[in-house]
A and B are shown apart, each in its own frame.
Chain A
Amino acid sequence: MNKIIGLIGAAVLLAGGYYLGQANQPEPTIIKVPSEPRAAFSSSGSEEVASAATAPTRSLHTPTSGELIVVKDGESIQEAVNAASPGAVIKVMPGVYKETVYIDKDNITLSGVIEQGNYPVLEGEGVRNDAVLYSGNGVTIENLYITHYKGNGIMGQAGNNYIIRNNWIVDTGVYGIFPQLGKNGIVSHNVVSGIEDAAIYVGMSDNVDVVYNQVYESVAGIEIENSRHALVEGNMVYDNTGGILAFITPGLPIKTCGDVIFRNNFVVDNNHENFAIPGSLVSNIPSGTGLLIMACDDVVVENNIITGNKSAGMIFTDFSLASNAANDPESDPNPNRPRILNNIMRDNGDSPEPVVRAFLATQLELRGPDIVDTVGMDDGCILNPERYRTLGLEKYGECEFDSTANVASYTLPEPVPPRSMEDLDKGKLVYYGVCAGCHAYNSRMIGPPTQIIQALYMDNPQGIADYAANPVKKRQDYPQMPPQAHLDEETRLAAARFMLDLTK
């Protein structure tokens, strides 16, 4: 009997144990996933570039005319540029070129020839300012090795439709590559290191792709500053003080930054000592910063691998980081609408810099986070926030989109045209903008009245255009006209035609 009871008891225990065991075994978690796909990413830039979806991605190129100029070791690149017409291709053979090259004309291709791994070298010897300056539109600069300049490697001032690619820039001053105040450009496949500010710095620009570059051992790897519609993708960014930055710098004449995509970059071990120039904004960057977004709006961070940055993986902040600059009431200091999609983040924040540690102390934290928003924005979004160690993201919602794949490029499908001349006649602009200093319609100024010139030349605008280029003393009672050969023939002719048609 006792045995039976014992057996039954054992059976009950077994069953109970079985039951308990069953109850402890995890069951597959089944979650109902909304069948609706997420919304598509959209921004002002995405709409701008979507208008001609048929064009291949980054099809921008510098127009060529067939003119080819070869520069050999011992010759001057600048002399070739001076001799070049728009559309020329300047091929620079391997050799050492000790000069500053400036390109103030349109559609010039400056292209190094690489032989057996030997590049043409622009050598600054620590005394020259910048290696290449351009202010023309449609410039391509490629295949150069640039080193030992004091200022910038390649610097643009307002050229549109630029391409800077395949350059190797080593130990070259303040910025390695610095397109500024231009629209529509590509910075790709450059290797840049040893720069005391940003290796690649896009300043006050619109529509630029910074893609497939390798940047290291610089204070900042890649910086997008006061710019709009920038795609930073596929870059290898390591061993800098800070990896990739999107900034509003206060006090600049173009005061916004926004619509920036950081996608598919490797942002690894950016723990270099900060060796920036005292007083510069990047001197404030804590060593060990992966991504730093200061005041820039609508920044999307997607599918980056961000690891081993010892202060923090990703920082969103306001101007409090730029405490050494004067305020700018016209710039909004907040990093509005941050968008953090999926990223791979680990081993960030292991040994934060003192400035980061001080902030962490206010949050009762010791280790730096993967992601921190020092402002605590309430209009941000993030996907899968549980994957990361975060600070200040309490008010972030879930992003409505999970990909920016519909933006293959922020460069424009068509090059930026020169300003539309619809209602602007060049002849008129020259007549009023230049000639009118000496000629009025019916009154005497420094030169004779336009009416008198009309009577003399009637149907002969070419006569005026030719005379204006090489004037001679004609009238005793007037000073000799200064030559206007600074205007090209077409322009002088347009002005002459306008002058002859004038009726008041």
Chain B
Amino acid sequence: MISRFAMWWPLSAAVPSDPNPVIKHLALSLSFCLAVTLASGAHPVSAAITLSEDCPPGFELAAGHCELRSLYQMYPSLEDAGVGGLKTGLPAYRDGFSPQQTDLGRYLFFDPVLSADGTVSCATCHDPDRGFSDSRGRSVGISGAPVRRSAPGLWNVAFQQRFFWDARAGSLEEQVQGPLYDEHEMGNTPEQLLRTLNGIPAYRELFAQAWPGDFRSPESQIRLDHIYTAITAFQVSLVSLNSRYDQYAHGYADALTGPEKQGLNIFRSFVARCAECHTPPLFTNQQIAVIGSPEPDGLPFDSGAQQPMNDPSQRGGFKVPSLRNIALTAPYMHSGRFATLREAAAFYTGGRGHAVPEGEELKIHWHIWEPQLTDDELDRLVDFLRTLTDESFKPREPAELPSGLPLVHNNSAPSGITLTGEENNE
């Protein structure tokens, strides 16, 4: 078997005669990466990849498709809305992809070859070790400058109906095109992306494994919908429903400590009212809410859902995020204004509209009021929020990528510190 690195490498050797500027660009950055890789002693050559025939954890293989399985499927849900209390069924969800499509999506997700210059992968901003977010207030993509908003964690996106903070996308397939083609995020174009992937024999082989019916002839091409579907398939496998909270919900009273149960009761009380929007079992009601949370110092007011919905009453409105695995994704809010869960929780007791800039008239959500939570209550809320952590189905990173490029997401700086070493909690 020819190693996929060997299959890939001659492409760059052909650069001078190749009119494709993408390949050329990639080849140059690859050469650079190769130099780094070799210098660090890693061996980039290995056998061809066979996509997994097994469904990811949490899914049963049924007639070639992976179907979600969860204890929550035992429970009813009023009007099938997937909002309720402890033993409430799940909202509508995506599943049904093949094991191969899911596994291919995993390679694509981690592969910086999807970006214009081979430096940014999905995992750059959605790092599995950071709750599939990036520990930054605002993410940094290909342009090196912070983008407008923070990267949401990806756990349980299978259950979400709308995507982006301003809810402008209605499907994961639509959503994925946002960062791929945003000039500040991955900077690619559909044409360049197709040329790149079709130019990598290893990827053509993998897409053929995932869609055998579409790759019957040597001329068969990878299509954009293949790419979007594979990444979607991977993302819906990121299921987190086995936290200690879930053990409590399924009936094991000792799963939570006394202070955590106090926190749960504050969370669902009608004083704090957290559960009215962050409603179990997903800890979001999937609505847009205008809560009047502030931007980091110096940033202009973000109009949020007003623009995509073309509705001034949604000014400053953002999608209610799920709180599952929320302890992993500091800092908080759409642009990372709050460094800790404690600060984020305290926002809600600061008074209705207390952080709204002068001159802004917002239709602040009626559940934002003045609950006057005590310091102790805020601590208990944080205790409870930490029980929503579960990474038991965390996927494995690929050891090697079909493009031959190295993984890039671990290059990013740890929380609050930029690559240049200065502190930045944006």
Contacts and interface: CB of A to CB of B under 8 A. Distances in A.
A326 B365 contact: yes
A80 to B, nearest CB: 14
A129 interface: yes
B81 A254 contact: yes
B312 to A, nearest CB: 9
B352 A158 contact: no
Which of B58, B251, B285 is packed against the most chain A CB atoms within 10 Å? B251
Interface string A133-158: 10111000000000000111001111
A395 B268 CA distance: 45
Contacts of A155: 268-270
B16 to A, nearest CB: 44
A488 B58 contact: no
B162 to A, nearest CB: 11
Nearest to B248: A104
Interface string A305-344: 0000000000000000000111101000000000000000
A256 B78 CA distance: 12
B362 to A, nearest CB: 9
A251 interface: yes
B85 A135 contact: yes
Given A158-B85, A253-B83, A253-B287, A419 B366 contact: no
B293 to A, nearest CB: 15
Given A157-B268, A253-B287, A326-B288, A437 B87 contact: no
B248 to A, nearest CB: 8
A431 B74 CA distance: 14
B317 A433 contact: no
Nearest to B391: A437
Given A325-B363, A437-B392, A105 B270 contact: no
Contacts of A424: 73-74
Nearest to A438: B392
B396 to A, nearest CB: 9
A150 B269 CA distance: 9
Contacts of A137: 87
Interface in B262-277: 265-266, 268-272, 275
B269 A133 contact: yes
A173 B269 CA distance: 11
Interface string A418-450: 110100101011111110111011010100000
A251 B287 contact: yes
Interface string A475-498: 000000000011110000000000
B75 interface: yes
Contacts of A434: 71, 242
Interface stretch (A25-33, A89-97, A108-116, A178-186): A178-186
Given A326-B363, A421-B74, A434-B71, A130 B252 contact: no
A326 B393 contact: no
Interface stretch (A58-66, A276-284, A286-294, A348-356): A276-284
Contacts of B368: 279
Interface string B51-86: 000100111110000000111011110110101111
Contact of B69 (A105, A181, A429, A485): A429
Nearest to B247: A486
B236 interface: no
B290 A326 contact: yes
A158 to B, nearest CB: 3
B289 interface: yes
A280 B366 CA distance: 5
A234 B78 CA distance: 27
A100 interface: yes
B81 A158 contact: no
B302 to A, nearest CB: 15
A437 B269 contact: no
B86 A104 contact: yes
B191 interface: no
B364 interface: yes
A433 B261 CA distance: 24
A327 B366 contact: no
B48 interface: no
B279 interface: yes
Nearest to A129: B269
B369 A277 contact: yes
B309 interface: yes
A433 B242 contact: yes
A487 to B, nearest CB: 7
A418 B76 contact: yes
B85 A324 contact: no
A175 interface: yes
A406 B70 CA distance: 41
Interface in B131-168: none
Which of B255, B270, B280 is packed against the most chain A CB atoms within 10 Å? B270
Contact of B85 (A129, A157, A252): A157
Nearest to B84: A158
Interface in B340-376: 352, 363-366, 368-369
B239 to A, nearest CB: 9
A205 interface: yes
A164 interface: no
Contact of B314 (A249, A326, A428, A429): A326
Nearest to A322: B366
Which of B61, B69, B85 is packed against the most chain A CB atoms within 10 Å? B85
B81 A253 contact: yes
Contacts of A82: 253
B88 interface: yes
Contacts of B363: 324-326
A469 to B, nearest CB: 11
Contacts of A428: 60, 69
B119 interface: no
Contact of A158 (B86, B253, B365): B86
A253 B279 contact: yes
A265 interface: no
Contacts of B289: 251
Interface in A75-103: 82, 100, 102
Given A135-B85, A443-B54, A419 B253 contact: no
B187 interface: no
A173 B251 contact: no
B75 A133 contact: no
17 contacts: A104-B248, A135-B87, A155-B268, A156-B85, A181-B78, A181-B88, A182-B84, A251-B288, A277-B369, A279-B368, A325-B366, A326-B363, A419-B73, A426-B74, A432-B60, A437-B392, A441-B54
Given A429-B69, A432-B58, 20 more contacts: A102-B265, A104-B86, A129-B269, A151-B270, A152-B269, A181-B78, A251-B288, A279-B352, A279-B368, A329-B309, A418-B74, A421-B74, A424-B74, A432-B59, A434-B71, A436-B58, A437-B57, A441-B54, A486-B252, A487-B252
Query: Which 8 A-B residue pairings sit nearest by Cβ, starting from the closest?
Result: A158-B84, A158-B85, A432-B69, A151-B270, A135-B85, A157-B85, A129-B269, A437-B392
